[in-house]
Amino acid sequence: MNWQADWGLRVRMFVTMFLLFALYIVFAGVLTAYLDAGLFGFALLFGGFSLVQYYFSDTLTLKSMGAKTVSADEYPQLHASIERLSQQADLPKPKVAVVDSNVPNAFATGRNQANAAVCVTTGLMRMLERDELDGVLAHELSHVKNRDMMVMTIASFLSTIAFMILRWGAFFGGGHGRGGGREGGGGGIIVAILVSLVVWIVSYLLIRALSRYREFAADRGAAAITGNPSALASALLKISGQMDKVPKEDLREEAEMNAFFIIPIKSGIVGRLFSTHPSTDRRVEALRELEREMTGL
């Protein structure tokens, strides 16, 4: 099975970004019309910080997760696997990092293919056989090749601005909407907050829909890289089965990284209602179908 461009993913990325762009054009217009310079300036300031976060996303994400960049001397087998799989995926070798955690998981981060990192937990390496770990690593490299982190970071940045205005709008606006605004006075800030709520909800749903599809795309990419869909399917079942046994303290510490993990951590009401990933059963069935296609059975 050879690597092929996933046009379904590319179309979905384009449509999602186009809809988000159109949504935020309207959003910016409402902010300009109804809010004074204080809150609008806050949005610009927060946007600046978010761009810095995007530029240094690999370093910041690894630090936030307590990950340590490791050398080939420390983890020779892990480095050898990532180097081999990167060559098969026609990618530059990313940085290799490890998190000392009982949570069996992995993620990729970085703004582009030349500035990427693949991270695994010690719990994952203890649990999986070598071919299963290769499947997980290939899945993460597929995210890098598809530029998923860049798209999701940009999309999430736009959504986060709306959420922050929704959360802090009343405080920063102080009830003093632009006098020239159609609603005037406190009405301006109320309109802006309501629009921010709508923008945040729509953005949230669009991003979650894209996130779930990209996991299927990364699974297919992993199958193309390794030629062994069943190994990844086996790994997914093992990881999913072990999540319920991990101490809740460990789950809470890492729950915010759900969109980047190979298996999401199901924690809290939002985690249960709006998953960033499709169900493990659906992913395993798709991989088994790929296996049947490859073997002709």
Kindly list the catalytic residues: 140
Contact 133, 110 (CB under 8 A): no
Distance in angstroms (rounded) separating the CA atoms of residues 265 and 81: 26
φ, ψ (nearest 5 deg) of residue 39: -75, -40
Axis crossing angle, helix 148-173 with helix 7-34, rounded to the nearest 10: 20
Cα 184 from Cα 60, distance rounded (Å): 41
CB 87 within 8 A of CB 138: no
Give burial (CB, 10 Å; 0-12/13-18/19+) of 255.
Answer: middle
- For residue 261, the 8-state DSSP code is B
Query: Which residues, 6 or more positions from 231, have their beta carbon under 8 angstroms from its beta carbon?
Result: 129, 131, 132, 134, 135
Q: What is the DSSP letter of 106?
A: E
Q: Is-contact 159 203, C-beta < 8 A?
A: yes
Residue with tokens 């004074």: 36
Cβ 120 vs Cβ 126: under 8 Å: no
